[in-house]
A = this chain, B = another copy of it.
Amino acid sequence: MASYIALGVTARRGPTTSYDLKRYVAESIGYFWQIPHAQLYAEPQRLEDLGLLRSRSEDGGRRRRFFEITDAGREALAAWLADPSTDAPELRDTGLLKLHFGALATPGDVRALGERQREVREERLQRFLEFEAEYDGRPGQEHQLVTLRLGQAYERMFAAFWQQVADSAEDLADGRVASIEMRFLTDGEDGG
Cross-chain contact B100 with A84 (CB below 8 angstroms): no
Residues 1-59 of A at the B interface (beta carbon under 8 Å): 1, 4-5, 8, 11-12, 28-29, 31-34
Contact of A99 with B143 in the complex, beta carbons under 8 Å: yes
Nearest chain B CB to A146's CB is how many angstroms away? 6
A184: B residues at CB distance < 8 A: 153, 186-188
Q: At the interface, yes or no: A72 with Cβ under 8 Å from chain B?
A: no
- In the complex, what residue of chain B is closest to A150 when comparing beta carbons? B161
**Shortest CB distance A19–B (Å):** 20
Which chain B residue has the least Cβ–Cβ distance from A164? B146
Residue on B with the closest CB to A145?
A: B177
| A contacts with B, residue count (CB < 8 A) | 85
**CB-contacts of A109-146 with B (<8 A):** 109-110, 112-113, 115-117, 120, 122, 125-126, 129, 139-146
Closest Cβ neighbor of A11 among chain B residues: B104
Contact A146 B117 (CB under 8 A): no
B-contact bits for A81-94, CB 8 A (1 contact / 0 none):
11011111111111
* A186 touches which of B100, B126, B147, B156 (Cβ 8 Å): B156
The chain A residues found within 8 Å of chain B, CB to CB, are 1, 4-5, 8, 11-12, 28-29, 31-34, 77-78, 80-82, 84-106, 109-110, 112-113, 115-117, 120, 122, 125-126, 129, 139-147, 149-150, 153-154, 156-157, 159-161, 165, 172-173, 175-177, 180, 182-188, 192
